[in-house]
Structure 1
Amino acid sequence: MPGISFAIPIDHAKKFLERVELRRAAGKIKRGRRYMGLTILTLTEPIRIELEAKTGIKDLNNGVVVWQVVVGSPAYLAGVKPGDVITNINGTQIRSSSQVYDKINVDDKLFISIRRGEMTLTVTVVPEQINDNDPHQRL
Structure 2
Amino acid sequence: MSNAVTQKEIEDVNSFLQNIKEVASINQQSIDSVNNGVMQIGNIYLESKRLDIRNAELNNELARILSEFKLKQGVLNLIFSERGRIIDKHFEVIDKGLREGNDALILQGLRGASEFVMKNPLEDFDNFKKAILDKNTPLELDF
With the length of structure 2 as denominator, give the TM-score of the two structures: 0.24
Structure whose residues are more often strand by fraction:
1
Higher RCO, Cα 8 Å, sep 6+: 1
With the length of structure 1 as denominator, give the TM-score of the two structures: 0.24
The structure with more radius of gyration: 2
Structure whose residues are more often helix by fraction:
2
